[in-house]
Amino acid sequence: MGIESFCSADVYEPFWDWNLTWHTENPDFTQCFQNTVLVWIPCIYLWVCFPVYFLYLRCHDRGYIQMSNLNKAKTALGLILWIVCWADLFYSFWERSENIFRAPFFLVTPTVLGITMLLATFLIQYERIKGVQSSGLMMIFWLIALLCATVVFRSKIIHALYKDAEVDAFRFVTFCIYFILLLVQLILCCFPERPPLFSETVNDPNPCPEFSASFLSRITFWWITGLMVQGYRRPLEAKDLWSLNKEDKSEEVVPGLARNWAKEWAKTKRQPLNMLYSPKKQQKSTDSNGDVTEEAEALIIKPSQKSSEASLFKVLYKTFGPYFLMSFLFKAAHDLLMFAGPEILKLLINFVNNKAAPDWQGYFYTGLLFVCACLQTLILHQYFHICFVTGMRLKTAIIGVIYRKALVITNSARKTSTVGEIVNLMSVDAQRFMDLATYINMIWSAPLQVILALYLLWQNLGPSVLAGVAVMVLLVPINAVMAMKTKTYQVAQMKSKDNRIKLMNEILNGIKVLKLYAWELAFREKVLEIRQKELKVLKKSAYLAAMATFTWVCAPFLVALSTFAVYVTIDKNNILDAQKAFVSLALFNILRFPLNMLPMVISSIVEASVSLKRLRVFLSHEELDPDSIIRGPITEAEGSIVVKNATFSWSKNDPPSLNSINFTVPEGSLVAVVGQVGCGKSSLLSALLGEMDKKEGYVVVKGSVAYVPQQAWVQNATLEDNIIFGREMNENRYKNVIEACALLPDIEILPTGDKTEIGEKGVNLSGGQKQRVSLARAVYCNADVYLFDDPLSAVDAHVGKHIFEKVIGPKGILKNKTRVLVTHAINYLPQMDTILVMTDGEISEMGSYQELLKQDGAFAEFLRTYANAEQNMENSDRTEQFSFGQLSNSSTYSRDTGKLQHQSSTAELQKPLAEKNSWKLTEADTAKTGRVKATVYWDYMKAIGLFISFLSIFLFMCNHIASLASNYWLSLWTDDPVVNGTQQYTNVRLGVYGALGISQGIAVFGYSMVVSIGGIFASRHLHLNLLHNVLRSPMSFFERTPSGNLVNRFSKEIDTIDSTIPPIIKMFMGSTFNVIGACIIILLATPIAAVIIPPLGLVYFFVQRFYVATSRQLKRLESVSRSPVYSHFNETLLGVSVIRAFEEQKRFIKQNDVKVDENQKAYYPSIVANRWLAVRLEYVGNCIVLFAALFAVIARNKLSAGLVGLSVSYSLQITAYLNWLVRMSSELETNIVAVERVKEYAEMEKEAEWSIEQTAPASTWPEEGKVEFRGYGLRYREDLDLVLKNINVTINGGEKIGIVGRTGAGKSSLTLGLFRINEAAEGEIIIDGINIAKIGLHDLRFKITIIPQDPVLFSGSLRMNLDPFDQHSDEDIWRSLELAHLKTFVSSLPDKLNHECAEGGENLRYIKEPCL
**Which pLDDT band holds residue 900 (cuts at 50, 70, 90)?**
very low
DSSP, residue by residue, 774-795 = HHHHHHHTT-SEEEEESTTTTS
How many contiguous H segments (helices) and E segments (strands) does the chain have?
50, 20
Statement: residue 868 has pLDDT above 80:
no
How much is the pLDDT for 927?
Answer: 54
User: What percentage of the chain exceeds 90 in pLDDT?
Assistant: 23
Q: Kindly state the average pLDDT of the residues 1349-1365.
A: 71
What is the spatial distance between Cα 385 and Cα 389, in angstroms, rounded to a whole number? Answer: 6
Do residues 369 and 411 touch, judged by C-beta distance below 8 A?
A: no
- The partner residues of 672 in beta bridges, in order of sequence, read 821, 835
Q: 1271 by DSSP, 3-state: which? A: strand
Statement: residue 284 has pLDDT above 60:
no
Q: Kindly state the average pLDDT of the residues 491-513.
A: 86
Do residues 67 and 57 touch, judged by C-beta distance below 8 A?
A: no
Statement: residue 646 has pLDDT above 60:
yes
Between 528-542, 926-940, 1157-1171, the lowest mean confidence (pLDDT) is in 926-940
- Sign for the pseudo-dihedral over CA of 1210, 1211, 1217, 1222: positive
Statement: residue 424 has pLDDT above 70:
yes
Contacts of 617 (CB under 8 A, 6+ apart): 300
**Which pLDDT band holds residue 199 (cuts at 50, 70, 90)?**
low
Statement: residue 175 has pLDDT above 80:
yes
- The 8-class DSSP code of residue 223 comes to G
% helix, strand, coil for the chain, step of 5: 65, 5, 25
pLDDT tens digits, 685-725: 999 998 888 888 889 898 889 999 988 899 888 888 989 99
What is the spatial distance between Cα 57 and Cα 840, in angstroms, rounded to a whole number? Answer: 68
Contacts of 1007 (CB under 8 A, 6+ apart): 952, 955, 956, 959, 1066, 1069
- Sign for the pseudo-dihedral over CA of 382, 384, 386, 389: negative
Measured at the CA of 1022, the angle between CA 1020 and CA 1023, to 5 degrees, comes to 65
pLDDT tens digits, 442-455: 889 998 998 999 89
Statement: residue 282 has pLDDT above 70:
no
pLDDT tens digits, 847-859: 988 888 888 888 8
What is the spatial distance between Cα 820 and Cα 689, in angstroms, rounded to a whole number? Answer: 12
How much is the pLDDT for 899?
Answer: 35
Q: Kindly state the average pLDDT of the residues 1126-1131.
A: 88
pLDDT tens digits, 151-167: 999 999 988 888 677 78
DSSP, residue by residue, 186-202 = HHHHTSPPPPPTT-HHH
Statement: residue 928 has pLDDT above 90:
no
Q: What is the pTM of this model?
A: 0.77
Statement: residue 734 has pLDDT above 70:
yes
> Which of 986, 993, 992, 1001 is CA-nearest to residue 567?
986
**Which pLDDT band holds residue 865 (cuts at 50, 70, 90)?**
confident
Statement: residue 241 has pLDDT above 50:
yes
Q: What is the phi-psi region of residue 625: left when phi exceeds 0, alpha when psi lies from -120 to 50, beta otherwise? A: beta
Between 868-872, 894-898, 1121-1125, 1290-1294, the lowest mean confidence (pLDDT) is in 894-898
What is the spatial distance between Cα 198 and Cα 248, in angstroms, rounded to a whole number? Answer: 19
What is the spatial distance between Cα 468 and Cα 447, in angstroms, rounded to a whole number? Answer: 16
Q: Specify burial of residue 593 (Cβ count, 10 A radius: 0-12, 13-18, 19+).
A: middle
Do residues 948 and 1017 touch, judged by C-beta distance below 8 A?
A: yes
**Which pLDDT band holds residue 590 (cuts at 50, 70, 90)?**
confident
Contacts of 1345 (CB under 8 A, 6+ apart): 517, 882, 883, 884, 885, 887, 888, 1411, 1412
Q: What is the phi-psi region of residue 761: left when phi exceeds 0, alpha when psi lies from -120 to 50, beta otherwise? A: left
pLDDT tens digits, 1173-1204: 889 988 988 999 999 999 989 988 888 888 88
pLDDT tens digits, 716-725: 888 889 899 9
pLDDT tens digits, 1036-1093: 888 888 777 888 888 888 888 888 888 888 888 888 888 888 888 888 888 888 888 8
Do residues 703 and 687 touch, judged by C-beta distance below 8 A?
A: no
Q: What is the phi-psi region of residue 1316: left when phi exceeds 0, alpha when psi lies from -120 to 50, beta otherwise? A: left
> Which of 323, 367, 319 is CA-nearest to residue 347?
367
What is the spatial distance between Cα 772 and Cα 743, in angstroms, rounded to a whole number? Answer: 7
How high is the mean pLDDT of the chain?
82
How much is the pLDDT for 10?
Answer: 66
**Which pLDDT band holds residue 150 (cuts at 50, 70, 90)?**
very high
Q: Kindly state the average pLDDT of the residues 1280-1287.
A: 82
- The partner residues of 701 in beta bridges, in order of sequence, read 631, 641
| 670-675 and 818-822 beta bridge pairing | parallel
**Which pLDDT band holds residue 826 (cuts at 50, 70, 90)?**
confident
Contacts 24+ apart (CB under 8 A), 486-493: 486/541, 486/544, 486/545, 486/603, 486/606, 487/603, 487/606, 487/607, 487/610, 489/537, 489/540, 489/541, 489/544, 490/541, 490/607, 490/610, 491/610, 492/537, 493/534, 493/537, 493/538, 493/541
Q: 1213 by DSSP, 3-state: which? A: helix
Comparing 363 with 943, the larger pLDDT belongs to 363
Q: Kindly state the average pLDDT of the residues 1350-1360.
A: 71
**On the CB side of 696, how many CA atoms lie within 13 Å of its CA?**
8
DSSP, residue by residue, 953-1014 = HHHHHHHHHHHHHHHHHHHHHHTSPEETTEETTHHHHHHHHHHHHHHHHHHHHHHHHHHHHH
> Length of the chain in residues, anyone?
1412
Contacts of 1195 (CB under 8 A, 6+ apart): 1086, 1088
Give the torsion through C-alpha atoms of 530, 535, 537, 542, to 10 deg.
170
Q: Kindly state the average pLDDT of the residues 599-615.
A: 84
Q: In what order do the strands lie in the sheet with 693-701?
A: 630-631, 693-701, 641-649, 658-665
Diameter of the chain measured on Cα atoms: 133
Is-cis flag, bond preceding 1262, omega within 30?
A: yes
**Which pLDDT band holds residue 275 (cuts at 50, 70, 90)?**
very low
Q: Kindly state the average pLDDT of the residues 576-602.
A: 82
Comparing 920 with 499, the larger pLDDT belongs to 499
- Report CA 32 to chain centroid distance, whole Å: 60
pLDDT tens digits, 1225-1266: 877 877 888 888 888 877 777 887 888 888 788 777 778 888
